[in-house]
Amino acid sequence: MQIDKLRGEQLDQLFDAILSLKDREECYRFFDDIATMSEIQSISQRLQVAKMLTAGNTYSAIEQVTKASTATISRVRRCINYGSDGYQMVLERMLEDEDKGTK
């Protein structure tokens, strides 16, 4: 995993902080303080790109909907195909939650 290069106490504390958030409103408050709007937008855009790629959408459709560059779409595609299965894990859980009618 690429992130292993950053593994350590600081990153553990960040992940523990994220895991301590109880609901969407707490996420909004925390991320508003910890990240720039651009950083948050980039991360949410990548997740949307991953969702659309796994649904079989074309690069053109993804570009149009998300405004992501083809470079970003390609990078997300590489992560889906050769990464640590993080996108797949999260997208499957999101789909399960949608099926259950939860948010």
Span 50-60, pLDDT tens digits: 999 999 999 99
Cα 7 to Cα 15: distance, rounded to the nearest angstrom: 11
3-state secondary structure 8-57: CHHHHHHHHHHHHCCCHHHHHHHHHHHCCHHHHHHHHHHHHHHHHHHCCC
Answer yes or no: pTM beyond 0.85.
yes
CA quadruple 92, 61, 38, 28: dihedral sign? negative
Q: Show Cβ contacts of residue 70 under 8 Å, excluding neighbours closer than 6 positions.
A: 59, 63
Is pLDDT above 70 for 103?
no
CB-based contact 76:87 (threshold 8 Å): yes
What is the rounded average pLDDT for all residues in the chain?
95
CA distance 12 to 63: 34
Is a pLDDT exceeding 80 seen at residue 41? yes
User: pLDDT of 62-101, one tens digit each?
Assistant: 999 999 999 999 999 999 999 999 999 999 999 998 888 7
